[in-house]
Amino acid sequence: MSPDVRTLALQVLLPGFSGTTLPEDYRALLEEGLGGICYFGSNTAGGAETTAALSAAIRAANPRAVIAVDEEGGDVSRLHTREPSTVLGAAALGAIDDPDLTEAVGRWVGTELAAVGVTLDLAPDADVNSDPDNPVIGTRSFGTEPEAVAAHVAAWTRGLQSTGVAACAKHFPGHGDTATDSHLDLPRIDVDADTLAARELVPFDAAVEAGTAAVMTSHIVVPALDPDRPATLSPVVLAMLREVLDFDGVIVSDALDMAGASASRGIPEASVLALVAGCDLLCIGPDKPASLVEEICDAVVAAVAEGRLDHARLADAAERVAAMAVPVAGGGGEPDRLRQTAAAVDALLVEGSLPDLAGATVVSVETTANIAVGEVAWGLGPDVRVDPSGDGIPDVVPLVVQVRDAHRRPDVLALLDGLERAGRTVVVVEWGWPGPYDGGLARICTRGSSGPGVAAVVEVLREAGWTR
């Protein structure tokens, strides 16, 4: 007997709930066939042992449930929030340009995820970061050159999937040339089809060739393909993924609670439209009540009854989700810490001559991270935290001033300019994308925060006399 429409509707949903234990209403949904759970920061806050127990509870309720998470390494980590990620992020790996190291990092991420019961990693980021002012991609990208990005996307994918954890290349058809955050608005990429094919699609093609189990859509409008609908809701864009890139795996929507998808229509309607367009697994977003899952399920059932969503399309989506799996090729240990630190040193961009930093105080300029990164530890442990006004910065002593994406933040640039004009002894450590900076202060660009990146910066600062 084939599943009824409600069961099929549940099987394509990937919501996230709040907390480190499985709520009873979500347990009931899983027992009824809910497709899976996506972990966010509130779910992993208890540490690895607690997260593994949560995964076991989910799988006990539904052995076929997908358990997904955003674990990119570097700046985007759900397993490492109290300290920087143990592995280098994409931008640093791209700068180092050692695909073997990139594959080893992907393999270690998979090893960590498999140990806590995760089956789908919403990574790697396959975007080409062609706009340095990009507010949401930045250091999550392997770089600015399509072929180089493609090589590292393929390597990271191979490493991850060798552990049995499925990869999900994102954000199709490419989120790198945007200056708008799709969490907050609806970006547009105004490029022609030839540019799209020669730049944005190259890393996704490499991911497909590497065998990626899934591809995630983006909530961006590409007028050259579809002037009216974001990619997640566009049959034209998603048909290109199937027919041009010949991808036969699971198409996962980016979170449908993001403004780029649902601000004007609501999450239930966005869910229906995503399925109609060709998405198979619908990421709903974090900390959602079970009542919203029921609303979405009801909307999908109604859309089938009304003829807006073909029953066969829904059944195909559910079948793809159920079939998603990758073989375990044999895991591997953590990539050599010394090798990662040495590589991170090579990835550093040091501009200007570092002054004598004996007795220097580390100051973190606190700015809001994008939603994908979230509130996580970053950079060196600071002695002082300040907002961009600079109130509270100590007088006289040399300073190591930590910033993120200062080139996009006029208030942070004004702070740095004020320190320079005051004749302060300052080294700027840029933990975000190495954007343009025409100030006179020495600057160290890290291409993203990570444990190895921190060790590399410490090594360079110590050479300049810093002794903490």
List, for residues 223-280, the tens digit of each pLDDT value.
999 999 999 999 999 999 999 999 999 999 999 998 878 878 899 999 999 999 999 9
Asked if residue 396 is part of any domain, the answer here is yes
State the residue range of the domain holding 437: 337-463
Among 70, 131, 226, 254, the one annotated catalytic:
254
Q: 79 with 49, same domain?
A: yes
Q: 106 with 131, same domain?
A: yes
Q: Please provide the average confidence, as pLDDT, over all residues in the chain.
A: 93
Hey, which residues does 39 pair with through a beta bridge? 69
Last residue of a domain, one of 270, 295, 323: 323
Return the closest-CA partner of residue 38 out of 11, 72, 70: 70
Q: 149 with 251, same domain?
A: yes
Q: 198 with 343, same domain?
A: no
Q: 32 with 94, same domain?
A: yes
Mean pLDDT, residues 309-315 taken together: 97
Q: 58 with 204, same domain?
A: yes
The rounded percent of the chain whose pLDDT value lies above 90 is 84
Structure tokens at 108: 């270690």
3-state percent breakdown (helix, strand, coil) of the chain, nearest 5:
40, 15, 45
Asked if residue 328 is part of any domain, the answer here is no
Mean pLDDT, residues 35-42 taken together: 96
Q: How many domains does the chain have?
A: 2
Q: 319 with 341, same domain?
A: no
Cis amide prior to 3 (ω within 30 degrees): no
Q: Which amino acid is at 3?
A: P
Given the DSSP bridges, would you call strands 399-403 and 120-121 parallel, antiparallel or unpaired?
unpaired
Asked if residue 330 is part of any domain, the answer here is no
Rounded-to-integer distance, Cα 153 and Cα 207, Å: 6
Q: 196 with 89, same domain?
A: yes
Per-residue pLDDT at 243: 96
Rounded-to-integer distance, Cα 394 and Cα 392, Å: 6
Rounded-to-integer distance, Cα 452 and Cα 380, Å: 11
Residue with tokens 């594959």: 103
Last residue of a domain, one of 293, 323, 353: 323
| Chain segment 398-422, per-residue pLDDT in tens | 999 999 999 999 999 999 999 999 9
Q: Is 254 a catalytic residue?
A: yes
For the chain, counts of helices (H) and of strands (E) = 17, 14
Which residues, including other chains, have CB under 8 Å from residue 325's CB and lie 6 or more apart? 164, 166, 213
Asked if residue 468 is part of any domain, the answer here is no
CA 172, chain centre distance (Å): 13
Give 157's pLDDT tier (boundaries 50, 70, 90). Answer: very high
CA separation, residue 275 to residues 85, 258, 268, 279 (Å): 34, 16, 11, 5
Asked if residue 243 is part of any domain, the answer here is yes
pLDDT of 136 higher than 90:
no
Per-residue pLDDT at 372: 78
HEC secondary structure over 6-68:
HHHHHHCEEECCCCCCCCHHHHHHHHHCCCEEEECHHHHCCCHHHHHHHHHHHHHHCCCCEEE
pLDDT of 181 higher than 90:
no
Structure tokens at 79: 């397993």
Q: 248 with 388, same domain?
A: no
Q: Is 125 a catalytic residue?
A: no
Radius of gyration in angstroms for the set of CA atoms belonging to the chain, rounded to a whole number: 22
Q: 262 with 157, same domain?
A: yes
Per-residue pLDDT at 1: 40
Q: 218 with 110, same domain?
A: yes
Mean pLDDT, residues 344-349 taken together: 94
- Is pLDDT larger for residue 174 or for residue 250? 250
pLDDT of 133 higher than 60:
yes
Which CATH number fits the domain that encloses residue 123?
3.20.20.300
Q: 204 with 313, same domain?
A: yes
Among 80, 175, 183, 407, the one annotated catalytic:
183
Structure tokens at 225: 């393909």
Alpha helices in 33-81 (DSSP H): 41-44, 48-61
